[in-house]
A and B are shown apart, each in its own frame.
Chain A
Amino acid sequence: MRTPGRWRRRPARVLSAVGAVVVSAILLGVLGFGYGTIPALGPALDPGRGAWTSAYDGTPVTTQALHVPGLTKPVTVSFTTAGLASINAQDEHDLFLALGYVHAKYRLSEMDEERRLGEGELAQLGGPSDLASDEFELRLGLLRTAQNEWAQTTGTARQALIAYAQGVNDDIAQVRADGDWPAVFTLTSTYPKPWTPVDSLVIQGVLTQELDYTTGPLDYAILQRSLGAANASDWFPTVPANTLSPYDPGPYVNEPLTPVSADLASSVPAGQSATTATTASTGPTPTATAAKSAAATKAVTEAAGQLLDQLGQLPADQIHEYPDSNAWAVNGSAVSGGGALLGGDPHLPQTLPSIWYEVALSAPGYQVTGVSLPGVPGVLLGHNANIAWSLTDTQDSASLYYAEDVRGDEYYWRGAWRKMTVEHYTIPVRGAAAVHLTVDITVHGPIMTQVGQKMAVDWMGNVPSDDLGALIGINQATDWTQFKAALAGWRAPTQNFTYADRDSVTTGATAGQTGNIGVYAAGYYPQVPSGCQPWLPMSGSGGCDISGVIPYTAIPQVYDPPSHVVATDNQRPVAADYPYYVGTSFDFYDPGYRAAHAYQTLGSASQLSASDIAGLQNNLTDPLAAQIVPKLLTALNSSAGLTSTERSALTALSSWNDEMSVDSTGAAIWWTFWTDYLSEVFEPWWKAGHVPVGKDSADLAVNPSDASLDEDLQAWSLTAPDNRAFAGPSGHGPADASAAMVAAFGRAVSGLSKSLGGAPSSWTWGRLHSREFPAVSGADGLGYGPRAAGGDPFTEDAADGGLTATAGPSWRMVATLAPAAVSAEGVYPGGQSENPASPWYANLIPLWWDGQYLQVPAPGSVGDDVKWTLNG
Chain B
Amino acid sequence: MARRLAIFAVVTLVVAVTAAAGLWFAPFVAGVAAGLLSLRRPKAVPAAVAGSVAGWALPLWILALRGLPAGATARAIAALAGIPPYAAVAIVVTLLLAALQTLAGAWLIRAFAPRRRSATTDNPAAQPDQVGGAAPSPAVDR
Contacts and interface: CB of A to CB of B under 8 A. Distances in A.
Top 6 nearest A-B pairs (CB, nearest first) are A781-B85, A48-B19, A48-B20, A837-B72, A20-B111, A837-B69
A59 B67 contact: yes
Contacts of B77: 45, 51-52, 54, 183, 187
Interface of A: 3, 5-6, 9, 13, 16-17, 19-21, 23-24, 27-28, 31-32, 39, 41-52, 54-56, 58-59, 179, 183-184, 187, 775, 777, 779-782, 835-838
Interface stretch (B4-12, B36-44, B98-106): B98-106
B21 A48 contact: yes
A28 B97 CA distance: 10
Contacts of B70: 52, 55
B121 to A, nearest CB: 9
Nearest to A8: B122
Q: Which of B56, B59, B80, B84 gathers most chain A CB within 10 Å?
A: B80
A770 B41 CA distance: 62
Contacts of B74: 52
A31 B73 contact: no
Nearest to A18: B111
Interface residues of B, number: 52
B97 A779 contact: no
B97 A21 contact: no
A251 to B, nearest CB: 57
Contacts of A6: 123, 126, 129
B101 A3 contact: no
Contacts of A19: 107, 111
B20 A49 contact: yes
A3 B123 contact: yes
B117 to A, nearest CB: 12
Given A24-B108, A49-B19, A31 B79 contact: no
Interface in B99-142: 100-101, 104-105, 107-108, 110-112, 115, 122-123, 126, 129
A16 B79 CA distance: 36
A52 B82 CA distance: 16
A42 B85 contact: no
Nearest to B96: A45
A52 B60 contact: yes
Contact of A58 (B57, B68, B123): B68
Interface in B40-69: 56-60, 63, 67-69
Given A6-B126, A31-B24, 19 more contacts: A6-B129, A19-B107, A21-B111, A27-B104, A42-B97, A45-B97, A47-B57, A48-B18, A48-B21, A51-B73, A51-B80, A54-B73, A54-B77, A779-B76, A779-B85, A781-B79, A836-B79, A837-B75, A837-B76
Given A42-B25, A782-B79, A56 B68 contact: yes
Contacts of A782: 76, 79-80, 85
A55 to B, nearest CB: 4
B2 interface: no
B24 A42 contact: yes
Contact of A59 (B69, B76, B122): B69
A21 B108 CA distance: 6
A777 B111 contact: no
Contacts of A179: 22
30 contacts: A6-B129, A16-B111, A19-B111, A24-B107, A27-B101, A42-B25, A44-B81, A47-B63, A48-B16, A48-B19, A49-B19, A49-B21, A49-B24, A50-B24, A51-B73, A51-B77, A55-B70, A55-B72, A56-B68, A58-B68, A58-B72, A58-B73, A59-B67, A183-B76, A777-B80, A779-B80, A780-B79, A781-B86, A836-B76, A838-B69
B112 A24 contact: no
A13 B100 contact: no
Given A5-B122, A42-B24, A55 B79 contact: no
A379 B68 CA distance: 32
Contacts of A775: 79
Contacts of A20: 104, 107-108, 110-112
